[in-house]
Structure 1
């Protein structure tokens, strides 16, 4: 991807005085710019955003904020910008993720991710209206979850990398005939971004360097940017690489507020790096290399070539078909070993259904992670591992634990997740310290968060995903007590409208629905049953089954139902909550939990209905009938 952006990140500073002409900013020579990450400013004024370093970002931005809106009426100003760029892959037809031009309220994104996040967003802030980011992406990879149309397109992005409007890279001749372009060809191209405040229209025009600016823009979006832009914003560029790399170059750049920016003088552009490389080879060096090709050097090259071939063959043998098909990138084992201090016992977070989970900090980025190490004796370890790679790696939702990547080393399997510093919900419910007791507002938010995540799995993704093991141990909490569903090791996918068939009953006693225990056939309804039990468990502060309790209190569902029928449903509320709660809200959760965990699957609501009940959009069926 290639994005144009306005950002902030105080690292390297280049202050040489920006050329201005009637309010026009001319960045030729890299004046008054900040660079950070892998970005570099050459002596001849060429800006290189990324190089051959994998999983990195490079950012360049103007040092000072610009006023984009009228301080009195809040209307966005008209503006226009143009720049000359080139993208060159280092691995043939595959390379980095692209480049973007962005307008941002800050000069940098300290917790942004590389790869398909382009150094702008991370998993937790994609799509938030509070981002106030407008970007033009030059995208050179295909990412289906982000709605990409192909691996060679231009898009207009607002607060997210899911484009409001996008089209394959091309330009229009004077007669209106479209001509295709390849963004990653290494050829110099020019892009224009022009916003008309009066008509509320944003135009994006692309063309080869030696072709005049087309009359017809590539993209035209009718939208008032006033609601997305703050009064003062930063402008700049960002780019990112993954496992495969690319060079992203900016040769010249101009910007103008309340007017049309002038064209770039092509004769004064810095030289293309390839030309510099060719000119550096003198005749003398060519002769020396030619004379040096002797028998001994030939043997060395043959040995080196054989070593590289064997190394590549070894890597190809390790890389399975499913590793190419699915998205998450592969981590180096040494990085995970360093991050977890050699998988030390002191870094152990817990033990999952088929492996241990360790906390860690990646050595270069200092990002906190959780690493699941699949046990040797796990008979279905590989099958479950592939299930996690196939599902979580492509999911994007604030209430799902994000899978960042994986590693396979000497027969062992590793999954790398976002770190959830507050741990699992069961620890807070049953092993908490006095200062860690959950109040009712926190419990209600956790119930809603988990419901949102499960609704996404059941109804909002391209395929239905059955979690099959919903319980407090698989509900994780971040710094802000946001709940996220995790442990998709037992997840099963099937197309919408097709009944799933499973080979064995999976799940945890107390959360398994009656029909699942009888038939072994999992469904979205069996997930809803488990969610209902979790709702009751969070509200009552006790486990679903207490073998040593009295007959009436042994099974949580039966006890809550009996108290409701006796007209005293509030007696089941966890006494540790105290008196700070909303009785109507507690009663709603208890009754909804009973409905979700109804023994008859047909009586249970869908997840969209559960969300409507929790948001008070609709009433529960039994409450509606009483009115």
Structure 2
């Protein structure tokens, strides 16, 4: 490390492996080698147009679902951040943390385009956030309102590929402080580098070192057409004196941001290493003050401990009497420390759970829209469990424990929970466009959902399923995938929102069983579930097939059409007759892409195969939607479901559970809209 400082303090080493190679643990700047590892993705948070796919952090990424693959990339911004903050300076000790980071980037000009922009940046941010309106020249850093404000507490090292009026050229590295108007820059053209190659793929190895003693930031760069890393160059391409303690928040986040504007490119980070110094506790207090604090702290601690023990005893007694001991204990030890809301605050946010704020209801309770005025009027969705029996508490815990650990751009974000006076509530991110079914099955007087949105919604759900089935630590099965549980944000991006029936399973298992029935909604339940009582990843794929068909056809899965009592059977008959496009929602007219519609309908049939091991896996589904692989062969006649004499082997290994069979009601998708019926009314449509 090119630094005059002999570090005598411990460091935090974080290795994010994102390519087909990984880091040899000797130092962060030495050779890479080893297997690819997805497990680090759970430490990342993505925002805006960013995505984690194709073994890379795609800070601006390939969108799925349009025949013109270029158009969706315009005017986008995204961020990918490590989800834990670091203490970067300490007032009592007057210390500033040193850090080093190295990463491999690929900035790629898309085929069919003649220009490129806007650029990629390594950032230090005060929060996990992406400013709205940060596309174009703002590089996902600021926007027209906030640019230049000291309150941004933002530092970035930008790799700019588009010349704005204030830029030296369209190929430079620069340092930004609270603004996209750089404080220092270095032209890469003068150094023989070209960030974007129009005819070939170039990988750039970047090293950024910050010396907290000398307050110096250095940036190093080298490039190669091959992935194996080169040694760090001896000389930096950019050096700048910088005291980050006067600029950034004491606890800040590291990550990347990027944007596109009227010109576009793909901005990828293929691997990332971050080393951060652990700052010591403050040593600047006088001995007398320290002694006084210690004595006073001991007395206070004794009082607090005594009070705590007394309160805990009383609470344990009440919990034992009411059967809530297990619930309280679990809530206090949830992984990730989700926020605990007070009932008073949620009551105020929802206007005392006013009917006018009601978003949906079902077997578990009601979902309300709310606003947290003290937090810049943040909109929330509050899911209030109405039952007070232990089954309700189990459902509450199951949903909270699972979704609290999930992090994906196509999953609804959980803000926190509340458990007071016997009330159970979950607080979610509010989705302004409601649930998908309200748009797909809108009345004739309402505008129908356009084809590009439909395709992108299906793609978003596929990415979410792939994350749940293969990328998250525990394999998670949703168990109730349907249009009413798919929510749409302000830009009509899909967010999977119902985890009331979801369960996590051991990685060695393939399914989850409950003895009291089959979970889900009629028309979405795979035929094997009705016989085995087990939900699996394959049964989720079946539900996804039903969603595809209802989105493309604009009809419910249990619709009766031309003598067929299920939508899937009707579509299969059209496919057999060579008229599969007749199934497309007639409200679309000719405003859809025929190739995409045929692809989706065939994929919907493939996912609806009666035999679980014949359904495609999520990785194949994603590739089909991108158009990189064809849809699996679909037989002319729908295969009949055959229940084997022995327990069937689930093809793909990993699954989950089941509960009450249920029909969709007017649910908003945060786990409601479920009205229970007995499983004896269900029948296989195979």
TM-score range, shorter chain: 0.5 to 0.7
| Aligned position for 2:524 | 511
Partner of 1:343: 353
Structure 1 residue 330 displacement after superposition: 1.1
Cα deviation for residue 388 of structure 1 reads: 1.4
Q: Is the 8 A contact 2:458 2:548 kept in 1?
A: yes
Kept after mapping to 2: 8 A contact 1:561/1:594: yes
Cα distance, 1:278 vs. partner? Answer: 3.7
Matched, 1:523 2:536: yes
Of 322, 334, 339 in structure 2, the residue corresponding to residue 325 of structure 1 is: 334
Alignment-derived partner of residue 120 in structure 1: 127
Deviating beyond 4 angstroms after TM superposition, the runs of 4 or more aligned structure 1 residues are 98-103, 156-159, 197-200, 204-207, 220-227, 271-277, 301-318
The answer to whether residue 191 in structure 2 is matched with residue 201 in structure 1 is: no
Number of the residue aligned with 1:571: 582
Aligned to 2:682: none
Alignment pair present for 1:394 and 2:405: yes
Per-residue deviation, 1:303: 11
Pick closer, same or farther for the CA change 1:580–1:329 going to 2, 3 Å: same
Distance 2:387 2:634 in 1: 52
Change (3 A) 1:239 1:375: farther
Per the alignment, do residues 277 and 514 of structure 1 end up closer, same or farther by CA in structure 2, a change over 3 Å counting? Answer: farther
How far does the alpha carbon of each residue in 1:16-41 deviate from its partner, in whole angstroms, 9 at most, with x for none? xxxxxxxxxxxxxxxxxxxxxxxxxx
Task: Assess, with a 3 A threshold, how the Cα gap between structure 1 residues 599 and 355 changes in structure 2: closer, same or farther.
Answer: same
For residues 218-251 of structure 1, what are the alpha-carbon distances to aligned partners after superposition, in whole Å with 9 as ceiling and x for unaligned?
xx99599999x9xxx998212469xxxxxxxxxx
Q: Is the 8 A contact 1:339 1:360 kept in 2?
A: yes
TM-aligned CA deviation for residue 380 of structure 1: 1.9
Name which structure has the greater RCO, CA cutoff 8 Å, separation 6+.
2
* Secondary structure of the structure 1 residue equivalent to 2:534: coil
Residue among 354, 376, 398 paired with 2:387 = 376
- Match among 409, 420, 427 for residue 416 of structure 1: 427
Closer, same or farther: CA 590–575 of 1 in aligned 2, 3 Å = same
Give the CA RMSD over aligned residues: 4.8
Aligned length: 405
Equivalent positions of 1:285-324 (< 5 A) are 310-311=310-311, 319-324=328-333
**Structure 2: distance between partners of 1:100 and 1:385:** 43
TM-score of the pair, normalised by structure 1? 0.56
- Counterpart-to-counterpart distance in 2, 1:511 and 1:313: 47
Instruction: Please list the CA deviations of residues 153-188 of structure 1 after superposition, one character each: whole Å capped at 9, or x if unmatched.
Output: xxx9999xxxxxxxxxxxxxxxxxxxxxxxxxxxxx
Give the match for residue 255 of structure 2.
none
Aligned pair in 2 of structure 1 residues 100, 376: CA closer, same or farther (>3 Å)?
farther
Query: For the residues of structure 1 that align with 2:611 and 2:396, how far apart are their CA atoms?
Result: 33
| 1:543 matches 2:517 | no
Of 362, 366, 374, which aligns to 1:356? 366
- Distance in 2, matches of 1:390 and 1:571, equals 44
What SS does the corresponding residue of 2:455 show, helix, strand or coil? helix
The answer to whether the 8 A contact 1:355-1:374 is kept is: yes
Shift of 1:600: 1.1
Tell me how far apart the structure 2 counterparts of residues 379 and 373 of structure 1 sit (CA, whole Å): 15
Identify unmatched segments of 5+ residues in structure 1: 4-81, 89-97, 104-116, 134-155, 160-194, 214-219, 242-270, 290-297
Could you say which residue in structure 2 is the equivalent of 1:459?
470
Q: Distance in 2 between matches of 1:459 and 1:277?
A: 57
Bigger Cα Rg: 1
Query: What SS class does the counterpart of residue 468 from structure 2 fall into?
Result: helix
1:500 positional shift: 2.4
Question: What is the Cα deviation at residue 567 of structure 1?
Answer: 1.1
Tell me if 1:481 matches 2:497: no
Q: Shift of the alpha carbon at 1:432?
A: 5.0
Quote the offset at 1:367 in angstroms: 1.0
TM-score by length of 2: 0.51
What SS does the aligned partner of 1:394 have?
coil
